[in-house]
């Protein structure tokens, strides 16, 4: 059905004030970089809730990239520091839960650094490619195969009784 080779899907949470603008700059400057990222614009990297990251993996992301303003440059003062602190613990915790550290990345990219968007995305795509697919939705399905027989037996018993 689908003969295309596997390509990683990376969800990118970019801050409106810096990395998102930088990605825009990379675009208007006609820079070419890997087409594997799906960008989501947030008002600040500090808005990235660890739930977003885990939900992205749970829904099939192979990697998550977060882009924020350089230290000292946050539009709101503190947001990027909050993200950095969360990132340090989240990456460690996700490691304990079997998610390789290369699948989650935090980068400071200012609005002027279109070329950095390009190099970071290309580099991350290479690293995630080397790790291979994560495919958590597929894993959920395979884990739950073990409970299907019991469920089917009882659905059947219910129907029998209804007759």
C-beta of 46 vs 114, nearer to other proteins: 46
**Residue numbers 90-129 binding other proteins by CB under 8 A:** 90, 92-93, 96-99
Binding window for other proteins (CB under 8 A); candidates: 15-23, 61-69, 108-116, 131-139: 131-139
* 3 lies in the site for other proteins, by CB under 8 A: no
What is the side-by-side strand order in the sheet with 37-42? 37-42, 10-15, 63-68, 104-108
> In the numeric block, which tokens belong to residue 131?
């790790």
* 18 lies in the site for other proteins, by CB under 8 A: no
Q: How many CB atoms lie within 10 A of CB 27?
A: 12
* 141 lies in the site for other proteins, by CB under 8 A: no
Sites of contact with other proteins (CB under 8 A) = 46, 49-51, 53-55, 57-58, 71, 81-82, 84-86, 88-90, 92-93, 96-99, 132, 134-136, 139-140, 143-144, 146-147, 150-151, 153-154, 157-158, 161-162
């Amino acid at each position: 059905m689908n003969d295309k080779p596997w390509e990683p899907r990376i969800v990118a949470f970019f801050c409106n004030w810096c990395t998102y603008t930088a990605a825009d700059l990379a675009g208007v400057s006609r820079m070419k970089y890997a087409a594997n990222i799906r960008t989501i614009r947030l008002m600040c990297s500090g808005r990235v809730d660890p739930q977003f990251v885990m939900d992205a993996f749970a829904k099939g992301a192979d990697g998550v990239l977060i882009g924020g303003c350089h230290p000292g440059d946050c539009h709101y003062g503190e947001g990027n520091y909050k993200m950095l602190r969360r990132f340090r613990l989240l990456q460690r915790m996700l490691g304990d839960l079997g998610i390789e550290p290369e699948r989650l990345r935090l980068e400071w990219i200012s609005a002027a650094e279109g070329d950095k968007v390009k190099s970071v995305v290309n580099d991350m795509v290479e690293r995630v490619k080397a790790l291979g697919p994560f495919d958590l939705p597929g894993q959920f399905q395979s884990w739950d195969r073990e409970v299907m027989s019991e469920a089917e037996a009882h659905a059947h018993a219910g129907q029998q009784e209804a007759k």
